[in-house]
Amino acid sequence: MTETVLLVGGGGREHAIARALAPDCALHACASNRNPGIARLADGFETLSETDTAAIVEYAESIAADAAVIGPESALAAGAADALEEAGVYTFGPTRDAARIETDKAYQRRFMRDNDVPGCPDFATFTDMEAACEYIDDYDGDLAVKPAGLTGGKGVKVIGDQVTAAEAKAYLRDSEYDRVVLEERLVGEEFTIQAFVANGDVRTTPAVQDHKRAYEGDEGPNTGGMGSYSDAGYSLPFMAEGDYAAAVEIIEAVVEALPEYTGVLYGQFMLTAEGPKVVEFNARFGDPEAMNTLPVLETPFIDVITAARDGEELPELSFADRATVCKYAVPDGYPTDPDAGARIEVDEGSVGDALLFYASVDERADGLYTTTSRAFAVVGLGASITEAESVASEALSAAGDRVRIRHDVGTASLIDRRIEHMNALRE
């Protein structure tokens, strides 16, 4: 019997999910933008807001959905999983309360502290911005300043890296945040591990390194992610033996303390001289990390969903022994002043051996238009990161005009710097 699955969301992450699901189910999708890649893969596509839970449920019922997968954090925060479950549609995605592990950073840190989850940095939470500024003055060391709520990956300011202490205090005073978290600055190399979670089972995927900074050489403001890479295996070149396993133990500790959690749990880690520490958790696939992980997943994603729904043990995951490099094309001016509403051309025929994932674009009758976020990504696969990067680079002629790319993602020189950095920290 063919399962009917509803996918909520219209970004690059969701295009990767759609590609993983479409061969094995009757796929329908809904999102606020019409993603042409998802629309081609789906049997039906409905344009609606990802936070309009009533409309999502109505569409799910109209297609008699057997299951749903929720992509974006905004839908989780709005309670889409709760609404679908209440309507009798099994949802592979956490409830609004469980998703607080991402949507409320103050809760996230308290959760880690109260449940003895390893890898938690020193932190303090504030509702009074002047009190937060005093804490900055009194703290012996650098701090990361984090709004407690969702900011699309762009709200964090790190003292000693992006801003000075004076600039951090000005940022707090000028903001309209009602709660912030101040935590010790973690120094090392960031990496991500994503896990499928249901019924207490945890199945982890290869580590990925994302690149948040807008410009080459890790310069500029933070973004939602300009690109990412994974190796032909579970670890990354700058990681030592045992680092991956230590990070997985942290994810498993979260699930042990949150046994009702269902969906994808994303752990973002800083590999420090003392081992992995937690930067944050997300309650869904990463974007772009989903585009690294899902193309090399050989286990049918639908088998994970149906096992979770039916209360069965989750299948062991199999991945192709391939490295991946993902590079995003973003609107001119992104992230501070993106050129939204620009009509762009994407030459799909020039992508070659790479995969093309559409993201925050809107397909209209007269063409493809940018929104305020990342437009599309190319993903190269290869026996090594070097080979995958070459495939991705060759595909970038598809980008056309009015977009910008961070070309250094996945290059040998960048990865060598990562290795040298960790070697220096470990000395």
Cβ contact 131:177 at 8 Å: no
pLDDT at residue 397 in the model: 81
Reported confidence tier of residue 153, pLDDT bands at 50, 70, 90? low
Q: Which residue's structure tokens are 């250094």?
A: 408
Classify residue 16 as exposed, middle or buried by CB count within 10 Å of its CB (0-12, 13-18, 19+).
buried
Q: Which of 30-34, 145-149, 297-301 has the lowest mean pLDDT?
A: 145-149
**Average pLDDT, stretch 244-267?**
98
pLDDT at 6 > cutoff 90: yes
Task: Write the DSSP string, 247-288.
Answer: HHHHHHHHHHH-TT--EEEEEEEEEETTEEEEEEEESS--TT
Cα–Cα distance, 126 to 238 (Å, whole number): 35
Token output for 166: 């004076």
pLDDT at 256 > cutoff 70: yes
pLDDT at 151 > cutoff 90: no
| Superfamily of the domain at 189-415 | ATP-grasp fold, B domain (3.30.470.20)
In the CATH hierarchy, which top-level class contains the domain 4-93? alpha beta
| Angle formed at CA 285 by CA 268 and CA 360, multiple of 5 degrees | 115
Task: Write the DSSP string, 150-205.
Answer: --TT---EEBTTTB-HHHHHHHHHHS--S-EEEEEPP-SEEEEEEEEEETTEEEE-
Token output for 369: 């238009």
Token output for 282: 């997300």
pLDDT at residue 222 in the model: 87
Express each pLDDT in 313-322 by its tens digit. Answer: 999 999 999 9
Cα–Cα distance, 363 to 359 (Å, whole number): 11
Express each pLDDT in 83-142 by its tens digit. Answer: 999 999 999 999 999 999 999 999 999 999 999 999 999 999 999 999 999 999 999 999
Token output for 153: 């990956």
Cα–Cα distance, 338 to 327 (Å, whole number): 18
pLDDT at residue 148 in the model: 87
More confident residue, 427 or 62: 62
pLDDT at residue 139 in the model: 94
Output the pTM of the full model: 0.95
CA distances from 150 to 72, 106, 250, 281, 397 (A): 11, 11, 22, 12, 34
CATH 3.10.20.440 is right for the domain spanning 122-184: no
pLDDT at residue 61 in the model: 98
More confident residue, 338 or 380: 380
pLDDT at residue 422 in the model: 98
Percent of the chain with pLDDT strictly greater than 90: 88
Express each pLDDT in 370-414 by its tens digit. Answer: 988 999 999 999 999 999 999 999 999 877 778 899 999 999 999
Token output for 33: 């933008």
Reported confidence tier of residue 152, pLDDT bands at 50, 70, 90? low
pLDDT, mean over the chain: 95
- Nearest-CA neighbor of 118 among 246, 258, 207? 246
More confident residue, 336 or 66: 66
- Name the residue ranges covered by the structural domains of the chain: 4-93, 122-184, 189-415
pLDDT at residue 77 in the model: 96
pLDDT at 154 > cutoff 80: no
Express each pLDDT in 193-231 by its tens digit. Answer: 999 999 999 999 999 999 999 999 999 988 999 999 999
**Average pLDDT, stretch 342-355?**
91
Task: Write the DSSP string, 219-237.
Answer: EEEE-S-SEEEE-SSSS-T
pLDDT at residue 106 in the model: 93
